[in-house]
Structure 1
Amino acid sequence: MFKNKRLLWLTLLFVLSAIVVLGMKIGFPSHRLIAYGLLGLGWIPLLISYQINRRILRVQKKLIRKKARPFLPHAIVAVLLLLAFYVTSALFPVERSPLAEWSPEKIRTEMDRDLGSYHMLRKTADDFIAAFESNGLLQKKVDELSPAERKTIRRLWRDGVMAFLEFDLLKAKYRGFYQIDYVAEPALHADAFMLAYMAYITQYNACIQVIEMVGSNAFMETLLNEEGEGIPVDSYYFMKQRLTHPNVILRMNAGAAYFELVKKEITFEPELVADFRERRTSFVKTMGMHPDLFIDNPLDILERAAFETILPVQKNVAVQMSYIRTAKRDYLITPEILAEHQAELQPGDILIQRRNWHMTNIGIPGFWPHVALYVGTPAEIEACFSELDFQPLETIKALYPDAFQALEASDENGFPMRVIEAIRPGVVFQSLETSARCDYLGVVRPTLGKAEKFKALLGALAYYGKPYDLNFDFTTENALVCSELVYKAYRAGGELPLEPEVINGRRLLPPNRLAEQAVREMGDGGAFEFVLFLDAVEKSDEIVLGDAESFKASWQRPKWDVLQN
């Protein structure tokens, strides 16, 4: 019986803390070093516990050795058998290949056709690698990407992923080359092997080139891993993991040895074989320059496993907290107050909001926890953008018919939809009376032209119906948070001096930081102008009309309600 179990529990606590640090990327980009440190600290109580129990272990040592010694040869043979089984199953799968059922003539016909597919896939891989090398987009910071550049990356990456998957099909078809009788059909056997091996080399040579271009750009990895537009989820992650997978390494090296045995029987054109040799040399050389992959990839697996364990908990906590409000009073800004100021608002205005006594305020830094975008009714949009040389409502209807239909509706109280925002259900339209039913409301207006503002509205409408991003990451676009919707809408409409920051490995622009950055850009020639501030007096439960100076100082207020004056 071991003593000092508390020490073992302490070790377990350090291990769990390391997993949380990895999964939440706490302290990014040094989160892995922090996790290593925690794991190192976990050894201290473990070693102390070992020393305390050493006497017990010393007494039992001879007995353990005596009982274990007869089984040592069996263990060694079992390990060798398992290793042999693994190597055999990786190199020579047990399923019967269709190649064994076909006649030599049919195999040759299929191979000639698939050789054409290989040429096409090779060109696709070369083209998308050359495109990324020439435009340099994979080396750019995600913050610096324009919407057009982002679309270019996604389009090129989709082409690469599709080629990657097609290479997989080609490899799978000819991986049973060994079932073609080498004695009876040596050339057919060698060509089938060569086609599979060329697909391996060309595929993974393209992979390592992409990885080399991405480098340590973690946010670019996140962008490439995003699902959508024909790209499967985590495509870059799985591609990167394959490069160091034992099966791939084993097949690459076994293929190199087998190529030397059968190369005299290969009937492919010398130029094709020479191209293959060049690609294999390039792949081996580049892989040799990145031994760090053999460390990073296992760490990526551990980090992802920790993240996937923690994320459901994080999401559940966030959802449950959104239901909790610790005050029974209604919100101080009423529909009647909003009606007095609605005429001051214009399409494109940014609504900055706070609701006191909500549990969700705890996890959001700063005084202001929510933002939304004022769109206006169809009539307001028509009036605001009538000077443009096109029909704004017809444009919206043509591009985003579902969003236009939602904008034309009214809420359950009969109020027209005027606001688009990302809340717990996702990106939705709300009436002003529902969206701005809060305790504090600030409104700022970007000083852009009408054309830029209309583009911003279109940028926001493009995200209508997207889910809420409980991972809180601006890099992805398949789900959004409130400030992300506003930020990306204006990225589509025109550059505003809004800069996300990195928090726990995620690109974020919290609402309070958005308010702070807008305030810093107010004034003559600034990017924003003040429109409205409805300020709350918590002690007397009333709303007062604040001025520009009081709004400019609002982002510095304490987030805790009990500390507010």
Structure 2
Amino acid sequence: MGGVHRKVNEEISQSLELIKELENVVNEIQKNEALFHSDIQNMSLESKLCILDKWVNYVGCYNGLNEIRKKYKNELILKHTEDSHTKFKNILLIYASTIAIRKNSVLLASIIEKNKYLESMLNESRPEYNINKKQYYHITQEITEISYMISLFRNKHYFDFMVNYYEVSGYVRDEIERELLDYASYNYLNVIKLVRNHRSIVFNNMIDFFGKNVFDFWFPFQKWVAISITGVDYSSRKEKYVSNEDINIIKAELLPGDVLLKRNNYQLTNIGLPGFWTHSAIYIGCLEELDEYFVDIPLDGCCLCVSEYLKVSYPKVYDSLCEINNGQYIIEVIAPGVVINPLDSIAKVDYFSALRPKLSKEDKLKALFVAFEYLGKAYDYNFDIMTDNSLFCSELIYKSYLCSSNKKGLTFILEPKAGRLLLSPNSIIKKFDVEFNSENAEFEFVLFYDGSERERKAISKSAKELSATWKLNKWRIVKRRIILNTQTRYPVVKFHSVLSKLRIILYGMFY
């Protein structure tokens, strides 16, 4: 029995330390509330890492308290003993841990709810920190969990009786037990008041419970459909409008770090993608090209050229670039995830354009290194730009060229859609158009090949003509083709009917 007493006392001390640490973490978050409320679009990588650091500390304390709580709730050590005081300690551990978790969850949620786009980052699985998928969601759902509310109410009355009983009996508590009991007794009413003062959290929890559980059901189907229609082309043409001769010209014009965009007509995935342009990538070039272009850039104080640096620091990237001698490569995000592919995979299309960031060579090289860090990451079929475990095509552009303390970058305007912030390939051309010929322009024009249905080839066009393409109706070509090849308007009506049904099914699937 003495061993059990010692173990319970040790865990009371451990619980008290975890509670104090949790309170300190939340106090730090409150002091840095401006950081958590800052505009996601202008948030630097350092700010994201600072938020992540505080979140890791919070979850560490939460997991420790939750383990203690679960242990004494599910395996009450002295359930069948007559030692009522040790039973009291056991229940005190459950009671104090639950109060600390609920109180600080409300305080955390009251900050995060003002910047809801942070939720996806906090819900991202991070096994290296023992953070589970949807961790923030499960922590905040406990605020309105009925079983815990009933448990707190029941334990409150239990302690009101037992404290009076021990006082009458003349029992003297040790300092740690008294401190934990004082914390629980003082903060019980605080939790009630906090929940009452943040009714929006309760309401949002109910909405989130419905929305997130529906999404868990819908997402596998959404992903399956997205994978099934990827690459499906319902045109009768075998060759795309950009020819091999065009690609040879394109290769001569590109430089490492260029942002590439493409579109194919009659691609089934175009239904779910917003705007005219549907895919993007970053141009790498070949090893020799990298060495030549970045010859004057110092690499962390070493004398290595870029190709040697890649061999040491990014061996997978180096191996990919060695597959074909003098081959020119891109890094892009497609169905398998973040991959390095030959330039032809994005240039052999109907419409192709290239933009060059107005940045120093050093900043471009750093952007490429950021992109290389994501190599092998999965494709993000949820299209959530706040998560890092998986990416979609234009998210790679956004994160690679994000400003940080050691490099300048590009500023993109993220568009809210279906509760998420998104950057589409079409938005990149829109940015180019908005800033066109201005002093603040962050892109310069490289080239644009415009597919011509009439001439059955791609025609080189100007920067001004490229800047207007983001406004094009992506259905105009399909409609024109149907009207030109049909004697009656019935197929057009039928097409609109089918299209309407597809748009309902695929709504929100891609962006």
1:521 to 435, 449, 455: 435
Distance 1:562 1:185 in 2: 80
Distance 1:537 1:428 in 2: 30
Q: How many residues align?
A: 458
**Runs (4+) of structure 1 moved beyond 6 Å?**
none
Matching residue of 2:132: 232
* Long gaps (5+) in structure 1: 1-102
1:555 to 466, 470, 484: 470
Matching residue of 2:282: 373
Matching residue of 1:488: 399
2:154 to 226, 240, 254: 254
Query: 1:204-262 CA deviation, whole Å, 9 max, x = no partner?
Result: 22211111111243211222111124321000111111121121111111111111122
Matching residue of 2:422: 508
- Which residues of 2 match residues 461-476 of structure 1 at below 5 A? 461-476=372-387
The share of aligned pairs that are identical, in percent, is 28
Distance 2:285 2:187 in 1: 57
Structure 2 residue 68 is matched with structure 1 residue 170: yes
Partner SS, residue 465 of structure 1: coil
Opposite residue 211 of structure 1, the aligned amino acid is: A
Distance 2:326 2:286 in 1: 10
Query: 1:1-23 CA deviation, whole Å, 9 max, x = no partner?
Result: xxxxxxxxxxxxxxxxxxxxxxx
Distance 2:390 2:157 in 1: 48
Structure 2 residue 456 is matched with structure 1 residue 541: yes
Matching residue of 2:111: 213
Report deviation, 1:180.
Answer: 5.0
1:185–1:563 Cα change, 3 Å: closer
Matching residue of 1:33: none
1:397–1:247 Cα change, 3 Å: farther
Query: 1:285-337 CA deviation, whole Å, 9 max, x = no partner?
Result: 21221234443323222112222232223222222222321223211223332
Matching residue of 1:88: none
Q: Is the 8 A contact 2:95 2:184 kept in 1?
A: no
Structure 2 residue 317 is matched with structure 1 residue 403: yes
TM-score normalized by structure 2?
A: 0.84
Query: 1:22-41 CA deviation, whole Å, 9 max, x = no partner?
Result: xxxxxxxxxxxxxxxxxxxx
Bigger relative contact order, structure 1 or 2 (CA pairs below 8 A, ≥6 apart): 2
1:194–1:154 Cα change, 3 Å: same
Q: Is the 8 A contact 2:96 2:180 kept in 1?
A: no
- Which residues of 2 match residues 244-323 of structure 1 at below 5 A? 244-263=144-163, 264=166, 267-269=173-175, 270-323=178-231
Report deviation, 1:393.
Answer: 3.8
Query: Structure 1 residues 315-324 or 468-477, which shifts more?
Result: 315-324
Query: 1:54-89 CA deviation, whole Å, 9 max, x = no partner?
Result: xxxxxxxxxxxxxxxxxxxxxxxxxxxxxxxxxxxx
Partner SS, residue 328 of structure 1: coil
Matching residue of 1:223: 121
Distance 1:181 1:305 in 2: 39
Partner SS, residue 215 of structure 1: helix
Report deviation, 1:439.
Answer: 1.2
TM-score normalized by structure 1?
A: 0.76
Query: Structure 1 residues 300-309 or 444-453, which shifts more?
Result: 300-309
When Rg is computed on C-alpha atoms for both structures, the one with the higher figure is 1
Opposite residue 426 of structure 2, the aligned amino acid is: N
- Which residues of 2 match residues 97-246 of structure 1 at below 5 A? 103=1, 105-136=2-33, 137-175=35-73, 177=76, 179=78, 184-228=82-126, 229-230=128-129, 231-246=131-146
Query: Structure 1 residues 259-268 or 201-210, which shifts more?
Result: 259-268
Opposite residue 254 of structure 2, the aligned amino acid is: L
* Long gaps (5+) in structure 2: 482-511
Q: Is the 8 A contact 1:558 1:564 kept in 2?
A: no
1:323–1:533 Cα change, 3 Å: closer
Q: Is the 8 A contact 2:241 2:452 kept in 1?
A: no
Opposite residue 256 of structure 2, the aligned amino acid is: P
Report deviation, 1:169.
Answer: 1.4
Report deviation, 1:399.
Answer: 4.0
1:118–1:393 Cα change, 3 Å: farther
Distance 2:375 2:436 in 1: 29
Q: Is the 8 A contact 1:483 1:510 kept in 2?
A: yes
Q: Is the 8 A contact 2:96 2:183 kept in 1?
A: no
Distance 1:334 1:380 in 2: 23
Distance 1:259 1:162 in 2: 28
Q: Is the 8 A contact 1:423 1:468 kept in 2?
A: yes
Structure 2 residue 386 is matched with structure 1 residue 386: no
- Which residues of 2 match residues 303-382 of structure 1 at below 5 A? 303-329=211-237, 330-382=239-291
Matching residue of 1:440: 351
